[in-house]
Amino acid sequence: MAEGAHGAGLDDVLVIGTGQAAFQVAASLREKGFAGRIRLVGDEAGLPYQRPPLSKAYITGKSDRRALDLRSEAFYTQGAIEVIAGQRAVRIDRDRKLVHFANQETLPYGHLVIATGSRNRALRIPGAELDGVMQLRSAADADALRLRLPDLKKLVIVGAGFIGLEVAAVAASKGVHVTVLEATSRPMSRTLSVPMSDFFLAAHQASGVRFAFNAAVTAINGSNGHATSVQTAHGDVFPADLVLIGIGVVANDELAAAAGLAVDNGIVVDEILLTSDPAISAIGDCAAYPQVFAEGTRCRLESVQNAVDQGRCVAARLTGSPHPYTAVPWFWSDQGPLKLQIAGMPAPHDSWVVRGDPSSNAFSVFCFRGGKLAGVESVNKAGDHMVARRLLASAAPLTPTEAADAGFDLKARASAAMGAT
């Protein structure tokens, strides 16, 4: 493997991006004793910040912008980590190991880490450009939504995914009339099992949120340049003061593709998160990697856990301790009083069992694929979530009958399996 892939002789790491993954690889490099130069360059202003609170506490005003920062400015100064904000990378010159930026500047690299993340998928329909049509991805997006929320009367959310439902819960708690339009037949259908999806649907409906399923949005109507309603293919019209689009994200992989790196719904990397160029790694939302918990299928995950663990994995390789990326994936979503936690890769699955009582608002769904535990969805059951991560990490054998039995000791099974490995 070429010099730089395992850190041999490496004295300069350049990271494109200033999100969670970019921050983590820089912090972990310093933790592991890397003494070379580290630069993080991103197109957003300010220090690296966390995104999960944007759709929850931040838009309610319960936290301020400074609380979003992953670390204070002193952390970067003391760690000799250079943060170059507000600069957009436009080209990678792999032959000369240079990155070109929109301001005409160039930066060299010994090893390049692409952590460009993802962007919201655009809804390309008439009226999408109207004032009052928003997306939620950045702190600036959240600031705009936060300003409008106190006076909001009618909110239409296009897309019943995590972000849309998190905002729906916040808005409904403020007395806003919320309607969620979803193109599929149920909420969070690409992620959740039927029983968990049905549970969240009922919970949101009980809080006053209205839903329309199999609803393909065809136009956003407006008056005087401002959105006033959303129209579907069925001819239904839903009045709105504000329209929030939440129909998924797209990997920011164009920079890599233009540089001749392989892309396939993200930047293609191997089991140690290297691209086809041994001087370039890719991590976080933009990286498509072989997922061991999905039978080696190449996946692209959008989660804090994935960003953090991939950053650590690359830092370990660049400081001389390479190992495959095999971390158990996990996710969470706070929707009102309900905390959803997912361990593993539940979808797709061919069977599932419920552990606990959904009427108590605290239960789990254990999903199986080919007779093996594929993932566990838990709501307000942190203990189930933690033991699920241990079960998956240890590949502990578990049958659906055992999972459904409230008296079966999951912790003992996980401990026994981990002790045997």
Q: Per-residue pLDDT tens for 345-356?
A: 999 999 999 999
The CATH fold assigned to 12-119+250-318 is FAD/NAD(P)-binding domain (3.50.50)
CATH 3.50.50.60 positions along the chain are: 12-119+250-318, 133-247
Q: Per-residue pLDDT tens for 260-308?
A: 999 999 999 999 999 999 999 999 999 999 999 988 899 999 999 999 9
Q: Per-residue pLDDT tens for 62-118?
A: 888 889 999 999 999 999 999 999 999 999 999 999 999 999 999 999 999 999 999
Angle, helices 382-394/410-420, rounded to nearest 10 degrees? 30
Tell me the mean pLDDT in the region 154-169: 97
Here the tokens at position 165 are 């439902």
Here the tokens at position 403 are 């999972």
Q: For residue 420, is pLDDT > 60? A: yes
Q: How high is the mean pLDDT of the chain?
A: 95
Question: In 10 A of CB 15, how many CB atoms?
Answer: 33
Q: Which amino acid is at 113?
A: V
Q: From 348, 86, 30, select the one nearest 194 (Cα to Cα).
A: 348
Q: Is the peptide bond before 108 cis (omega within 30 degrees of 0)?
A: no
Q: From 308, 128, 105, 104, select the one nearest 218 (Cα to Cα).
A: 128
Task: pLDDT band for 9, please (50, 70, 90 cuts).
Answer: low
Q: Per-residue pLDDT tens for 240-257?
A: 999 999 999 999 999 999
CA angle 376, 188, 143 (to 5 degrees): 110
Task: pLDDT band for 418, please (50, 70, 90 cuts).
Answer: confident
Residue 101 main-chain phi, psi, to 5 deg: -120, 165
CA angle 184, 351, 298 (to 5 degrees): 65
The CATH fold assigned to 337-420 is Enolase-like; domain 1 (3.30.390)
Q: For residue 2, what pLDDT is reported?
A: 37
CATH architecture for residues 133-247: 3-Layer(bba) Sandwich (3.50)
